[in-house]
Structure 1
């Protein structure tokens, strides 16, 4: 299995592990610096839309392991088809798609809650402090970390290019075609993003959906226009 890992996929996995070890065990003060905050949060920095893709939950090692496992399995076929540099662009673009959709939804909630509280008689200063705290004690909706948006882009691209490859997963005794298994996963994430599951969790469903949409669009466009003939190696 490990002999089949392509150069960029291997580099991304190493980078994620380095970020995890560095920000969790060596310099934990950097965790908040590289994790993604809402753009109105005092802790937001311009590099976070990129660096958050290489960060993972500091209290859940499984978060890192699962994302890297998905990348290791599904990333190499895409990298071989796209070429190394195109895969880097594809991977980062999926992560940006995850960021944009999540931030867009957060901004919608931000505006809605601001208007509701102002109409209730609160000042803008009180609203701002309640929404994202103060510079001393910021408390907006937490941080966004993880490569999940990127890996969902990889899953979407894989399902489009290789829809009929059979996948075997735990607890299901028969293989399922990639288009159905990954498609069902995407459908669930979309429903969860819309809040229709009734489950409260700490999972960035919108990031998964945003990453998958961008990953699918890029793969569809390159395939449709025979872009695989112009590799960026």
Structure 2
């Protein structure tokens, strides 16, 4: 399969299979997102296994989400697996993916606490009582604060992006001066500058609230956990891979 190392190959295969199963089951009325997507820990839909399973779920509204994640996993992941070996690469992938989810949930918790202080107990109880049903119908509360609380409680986070951003960070640290060719604009850029720039954009989008449907802090979480993992490996070994 395009000379891919085993972990990258199996991760891509697993993501594609889960994506196809999700689409097929959705046609029969079975929705996997409430089960496998990551929910806010104070949501009734939250289960601990979602910190792992969310990485294999992607938006079923099109192929763009899964395509770009898998493309990046193929382009950069196969290089890192070739350097680190399969076991260490898989460890890195899973830790950065779970770490991304942890940071995303921490940020969501602070948003949740802020909203709780602005809503009455009756409003909060009403959101918790009927919010999921409204959300599952593609609707939300007209009140912006209630709507935001409902989104935090009932929007599942899905995608391998957190782990993929960890891989991008890892590639930039191992091969900082490698030239990458951007698509837009089509200019060459060193990997270290690409990673720094991408991280800065994610921080800006996360803080500003632009592209609110994208889990920007999850992306940053993947990069953050990846950075500390590589630093730890580097400190505790003559060769960190």
TM-score interval (norm. to shorter): 0.7 to 0.9
**Alignment partner of 1:219 is 2:230:** yes
Aligned position for 2:140: none
Q: Structure 1's 78 and 200: CA in aligned 2 closer, same or farther, altered over 3 A?
A: closer
Mapped to 2, the partners of 1:201 and 1:43 lie a distance apart of 21
Cα distance change, pair 22–184 in 1 and its aligned pair in 2 (3 A) = same
**CA separation of 1:80 and 1:224: change in aligned 2, threshold 3 A:** farther
Query: In the TM superposition, what is the alpha-carbon distance from 1:96 to its structure 2 partner?
Result: 1.2
- Shift in alpha-carbon separation, 1:116–1:61, aligned structure 2, 3 A: same
Deviations 1:24-51 (A, max 9, x none): 2235422321111111111111211100
Instruction: Choose which of 125, 133, 136 in structure 2 pairs with 1:137.
Output: 133
2:12 match: 13
The aligned counterpart of 1:40 is 42
* TM-score, normalised relative to structure 2: 0.84
5+ residue gaps, structure 2, are: 136-149
1:155 aligned onto 2:151: no
Distance 2:107 2:126 in 1: 20
Which range moves more in the overlay, 170-179 or 160-169?
A: 170-179
RMSD: 2.1
Structure 1 portions without partners, runs of 5+:
none
Contact kept in structure 2, 1:42 and 1:134, CA below 8 Å: no
Matched, 1:177 2:174: no
**TM-score (norm. length: structure 1):** 0.87
Residues 65-95 of structure 1 deviation map (CA, whole Å, 9 limit, x = unaligned)? 0000000000012112222111111101111
State the aligned residue count: 221
1:164 paired residue number: 177
